[in-house]
């Protein structure tokens, strides 16, 4: 039976590998001056997996935390959405294995390959599933990018880390926050700016400057769209949680959206850029700061070119 149900985020979770890699290690490898990476990107460190660690292992840790935080029975989860660009295998999808590791074998499970915007795509789809079916949805965004970067290419080697973030959406009006506005976009004319070509394993960045400019443009436009949809002024935003691609990117977006540094999440300094995982990771890390009535703006852009934004309203 389907109908219209309320939908709220009732749990957050996150996970990173044990190995923390500081800038000094990477700067020494490239022979660049101390402090260069942080000045250019805002990153001080990132986390990289060791041999033997898998994407679904990392995703499962974040998923378990979100489920525990939600206090929800496994039988209540109707769907698992895994936003990742680095699955354990190209076929079969990794989401069913993730669901199995979490004891959610009766739930549906599917991968979403939305690059850095993948969590926002999963959030909007998950919210729709909850509202139509009245079953909870576990969303996990996770990436192991340390195995996909070219360690000899400075542009990618300094940026990327491994992490997972998760949320539980449920048919409830008493969760932490609810989705009140969203937009999703794509622009295939910039399809080849960053990617992993078919048959290859390492990421390439063709034009970093153009990617920078397009990311700022897309994130700003999407952010403005979701605010305009519900007639919310930028000065009403309590928390700005952008995709943590590069501090210079999201600072430029915040400036164009007229958002202050005080409301902007900055998890990139310790965790680097983990693509789709950065927003749910930031939400989980900042969860204790959210109060009833707060508005949280999320926005992202990434390879594809994919983009999106979402506005959350804190309900409890």
pLDDT digits (tens, 9 = 90+) for 146-203: 999 887 777 778 889 999 999 999 999 888 999 999 999 998 887 777 777 666 678 7
Low-confidence ranges of the chain (pLDDT < 70): 1-3, 197-200, 207-208
pLDDT score of 173: 86
pLDDT digits (tens, 9 = 90+) for 21-50: 999 999 998 888 999 999 999 999 999 999
Catalytic entry in 116, 177, 222, 314: 116
Please report the DSSP string for the chain in residue order.
-------EEEEEEEE--SEEEEHHHHHHHHT--TTHHHHHHS-SEEEEPPTT--HHHHHHHHHHHHHHHHT--GGGEEEEEEE-SS-S-SSS-SHHHHHHHTT-TTSEEEEE--GGGHHHHHHHHHHHHHHHH--EEEEEEEEEGGGTS-TT-HHHHTTB-EEEEEEEEES-SSSSEEEEEEEEEE-GGGTTSEE--TT--S-EES-HHHHHHHHHHHHHHHHHHHHHHTT--GGG-SEEEE--S-HHHHHHHHHHTT--GGGB--THHHH-B-GGGHHHHHHHHTGGG--TT-EEEEEEEETTTEEEEEEEEE--
pLDDT score of 188: 86
CATH superfamily of 8-170: Thiolase/Chalcone synthase (3.40.47.10)
Q: Is 222 a catalytic residue?
A: no
The ranges of the chain annotated as CATH 3.40.47.10 are: 8-170, 177-314
Catalytic entry in 190, 243, 246, 314: 243
Q: Is 273 a catalytic residue?
A: yes
Catalytic entry in 14, 23, 273, 314: 273
pLDDT score of 200: 64
Task: Report the predicted TM-score, pTM, of the whole model to 2 decimal places.
Answer: 0.94
CATH superfamily of 177-314: Thiolase/Chalcone synthase (3.40.47.10)
């Amino acid at each position: 039976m389907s109908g219209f149900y309320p939908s709220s985020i009732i749990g957050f979770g996150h996970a990173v590998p044990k190995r923390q890699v500081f800038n000094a290690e990477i700067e020494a490898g490239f022979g660049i001056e101390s402090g260069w990476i942080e000045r250019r990107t805002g990153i001080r460190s990132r986390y990289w997996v060791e041999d033997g660690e898998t994407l679904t292992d990392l995703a499962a840790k974040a998923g378990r935390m979100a489920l525990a935080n939600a206090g929800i029975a496994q039988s209540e989860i109707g769907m698992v959405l895994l936003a990742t660009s680095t699955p354990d295998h190209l076929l079969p999808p990794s989401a069913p294995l993730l669901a199995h590791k979490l004891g959610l074998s009766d739930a549906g499970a599917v991968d979403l390959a939305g690059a850095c915007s993948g969590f926002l795509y999963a959030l909007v789809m998950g919210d729709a599933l909850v509202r139509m079916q009245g079953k909870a949805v576990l969303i996990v965004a996770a990436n192991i990018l340390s195995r996909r970067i070219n360690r000899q290419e400075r542009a990618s080697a300094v940026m990327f880390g491994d992490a997972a973030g998760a949320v539980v959406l449920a048919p409830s009006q008493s969760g932490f926050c609810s989705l009140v506005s969203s937009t999703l976009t794509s622009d295939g004319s910039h399809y080849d700016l960053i990617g992993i070509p078919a048959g290859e394993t390492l990421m390439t960045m063709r034009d970093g400057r153009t990617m920078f400019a397009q990311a700022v443009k897309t994130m700003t436009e999407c952010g403005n769209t979701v605010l305009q949809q519900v007639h919310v002024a930028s000065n009403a935003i309590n928390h700005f949680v952008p995709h943590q691609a590069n501090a210079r990117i999201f600072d430029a977006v915040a400036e164009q959206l007229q958002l202050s540094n005080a409301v902007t999440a900055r998890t990139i300094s310790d965790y680097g850029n983990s693509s789709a995982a950065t927003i749910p990771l930031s939400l989980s890390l900042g969860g204790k700061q959210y109060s009833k009535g707060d508005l949280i703006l999320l926005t992202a852009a990434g390879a594809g070119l994919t983009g999106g934004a979402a506005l959350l309203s804190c309900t409890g």
